[in-house]
Amino acid sequence: MPSCISRTDWKYALIPALVMAFLLLYPQINLWMAAGSGWNGAYAASNYDETAYSAYVNSLIEGRPRRNDPFLAVDDTGTESIYSIQFIPAYVIAVPARILGISASNAFLLLSVLVGILAAAAVFFLLRLVCGDALFAAAGTVVILCLGALLAGEGEIRRMLGFGVTVDFFPFARRYQPALGFPVFFVFCGLVISALRAAAFKKRLLISVFAGGAFAVLVFTYLYLWTTALCWAGLFLAAAALFSKEKRRRALETGAVVAVFAAFALVPYGVLIVSRSDHADTVNLMTSTHAPILSSVPLVLGVLSTIAAFVIRARAAAAGDEKWLFVISLGLTPVLLLEQQVITGKTLQPIHFDVFIANYLVGIAIWLLIDIVRKGDTASAGFKKATTYCAIAAGAMGHGRECLGDADKCDSD
């Protein structure tokens, strides 16, 4: 499992980055073609929530404080909201936009390209880190990102079966949630894996510090990303400590460092949560239930990928323990995320886990299972062609039919 990055790897990383950047910009291109010079600065929106996020970013660009409510035109509500608590992505967009003098609409337009590049790069280098094959990682990046809706049990497959569709366009690209935090999540995963791999304590400590910093950023970025990151890291490091005596101490040290950063981030986060408005839980659909979730596609796929990983454990050992540990942790994460309410009695729109992150985790797990079955041998010409064709097919299927120039799905300042 080589970790050094070569010039060839960067060339392979460029392929999925350009593919995703184009696909995410395609709705805007379609709008330009349909509206011509009358597009009036509108940006194509893939999700109705993007209008609300855009309004909040626009308020920050205009200089209003963090706790403002752009819908009530109140500069300080006196309480926290989902926008003011998860403030990092909003300021990452608003501050450069204000400095450069561009509108929220133009910022969201540019964000589509940026998100495509960053998401593809983050997933590519994570796959490259784990499997060691740049072509396999590049093809996997396109497949996983383009089939996110399918892996969530959403998109065209539901429309074909006559069901209502919640998410059709690339779920991860919803601006700015989870779009800007999405690459950070996979950087966090890569850092945790790299820390576990590092034999030297000082190197492991340094990498763990960066991992902890990435987690702290996720805390103030998006609820569904930082909770998933916490869940996955706990499972991955626990699996490493349980199944590998050699990695047990490394896992404990890495976990301890990340836990320190998590504590420092979650304490102020908790203060903000306590200061939230009285009706926030109602608006965000907080539900009290101990009922298990049985209909989640990522959960089912996660269970199946975990079972498959244990069935082929002998092959996994030959391919590398970290790869196997990674697969089982990815497979079990949706189970823990979506069934925690059986114990806690509280759940908050679990479909967000399905469509924004758990689906991509099981996609990576399935892709890595293919590598494990082949014992890491992905160099044959036939296999290269097969993975390339899979990527091409996924790219052709991945864009869906939503937001392709529909005037009802556009927004402007």
pLDDT in tens, 255-298: 999 999 999 999 999 999 998 876 665 556 667 777 787 888 99
pLDDT above 70: percentage of residues in the chain: 88
The three-point CA angle 12-226-308 to 5° equals 60
Which of 7-16, 162-171, 261-270, 382-391 has the highest mean predicted lDDT (pLDDT)? 261-270
Phi, psi dihedral angles at 139 (to 5 degrees): -65, -40
> What's the half-sphere exposure (Cβ side, CA atoms, 13 Å) at 366?
20
Query: 377-400 burial, b if ≥16 CB within 10 A, otherwise e?
Result: ebeeeebeeebeebbeebbeebbb
Long-range residue pairs from 195-202, CB within 8 A, at least 24 positions apart, any chain: 195/250, 195/254, 195/257, 196/236, 196/237, 196/240, 196/247, 196/250, 196/251, 196/254, 196/322, 197/1, 197/3, 197/322, 198/250, 201/253
Q: What angle do CA 264, 266, 269 make, to 5 degrees?
A: 120
Q: What is the pLDDT of residues 326-374, one digit of tens each?
A: 999 999 999 999 887 778 777 778 788 889 999 999 999 999 999 888 7
- This prediction has a pTM of 0.91
pLDDT confidence tier of residue 43, bands split at 50, 70 and 90? confident
Prior bond to 360 cis, omega within 30? no
pLDDT at 38: 75
How confident is the model over 47-86, as pLDDT tens digits? 888 888 999 999 999 999 999 988 877 888 888 888 999 9
User: What is the C-alpha to C-alpha distance for residues 335 and 303, in angstroms, rounded to an integer?
Assistant: 7
**What are the percentages of helix, strand and coil residues in the chain, rounded to 5?**
70, 5, 25
